[in-house]
């Protein structure tokens, strides 16, 4: 004799387990091998490593192909990155002066 509350609890757990399994099957069916194949084909063609998860600058994008701090050699117009440059900002007056002199 299973009492009512235990039964409700049992069904709740059953429902949760069912939902988790259904979700996993759904997600599993969505990611096919075709996706991986096209990724592999793409990486093979381009030959560049790293994911484009951070694409803000090249040294992050293809980090493994460059030095840790190669931001300075890549492009002069890249924005400042290091935390210290935000904390200790250079004097803008000095910069202006040097521009005027030019």
Partner 1 sequence: MRNKINIYLIEYAINSLLRQKYKSFFITTVLTLIIFILTSVFFITNSIKYELQSTVDTLPEIVVQKIKAGRHSDIDVSVADDILEIAGVNSTVSRVWGYYYFENLGVNFSIVGIEKYEEQYKNSFENVAKTLDFSTNSMIVGEGVKKSMKKIYYNEYFNFIKPDGKLKKIMISGVFKGDTELESNDMIVMSKENVREIFDIEDSKATDIVVKVSNIDEIQTVASKIKLMFPDSRVITKDDLKISYQNIFDYKSGVFLALFIITLFTFFIIIYDKVSGLSSEEKKEIGILKAIGWRVNDILKEKFYEGFIISIFSYLFGVLLSLAFVYIFKAPLLQNIFTGYSELKTSFELPFVFDIQTLSIVFFLSVPIYIAATIIPSWKSATLEADEVIR
Which parts of this chain interact with partner 1 (CB under 8 A)?
1-3, 5-6, 9, 12-13, 16-17, 19-20, 23-24, 27-28, 30-31, 34-58, 60-67, 70, 73-75, 77-79
Output 65 or 96, the one with its CB closest to partner 1: 65
Output 5 or 102, the one with its CB closest to partner 1: 5
- The Cα–Cα gap between 98 and 5 comes to 81
In angstroms, give the least distance from the CB of 29 to partner 1: 9
Contact in structure between 58 and 74 (CB atoms under 8 Å) = yes
Output 38 or 95, the one with its CB closest to partner 1: 38
């Amino acid at each position: 004799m299973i009492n009512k509350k235990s039964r409700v609890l049992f069904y709740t757990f059953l429902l949760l387990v069912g939902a988790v399994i259904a979700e996993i099957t759904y997600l599993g069916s969505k990611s096919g091998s075709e996706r991986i194949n096209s990724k592999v084909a793409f990486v093979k063609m381009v030959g560049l490593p790293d994911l484009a998860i951070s694409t803000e600058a090249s040294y992050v994008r293809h980090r493994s192909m460059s030095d840790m701090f190669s931001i300075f050699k890549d492009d002069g117009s890249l924005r400042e990155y290091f935390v210290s440059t935000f904390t200790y900002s250079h004097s803008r007056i000095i910069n202006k002066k040097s521009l005027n002199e030019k």
